[in-house]
Structure 1
């Protein structure tokens, strides 16, 4: 539920903005994001599925710190 609440908070905040320069910056972020999303059309289904699993893990806080990851994989490095 965290991301939904964050989205709603952002929508509410954006709806109250009167400063054009802030709106312009938000629009640039949106446009940049849309461009990145289009580039994902070149990914295979397996790659897209893997990315979605990673995002879901991140959202569910199913992650490890960099230090722990290095410790787990240090024998391969």
Structure 2
């Protein structure tokens, strides 16, 4: 509950601050930040990464999956 109050307090603080900004360059920076936050991760990854994700989805749909224990065996040295 306390965390929620802190979040609401911060939001109100930002709203008050935003209402006083007269510098267009600061406003544009805030708008750019908002755009970055709303950007879909898919459009920010490389073509190779997209292909790897697509292949993984195809493998999953085809039932080509490894169990958790098999994955632990394969990657244990990095975990």
TM (norm. structure 1) is 0.46
RCO higher in structure (CA 8 A, sep ≥6): 1
Looking at secondary structure, tell me which structure has more helix per residue.
1
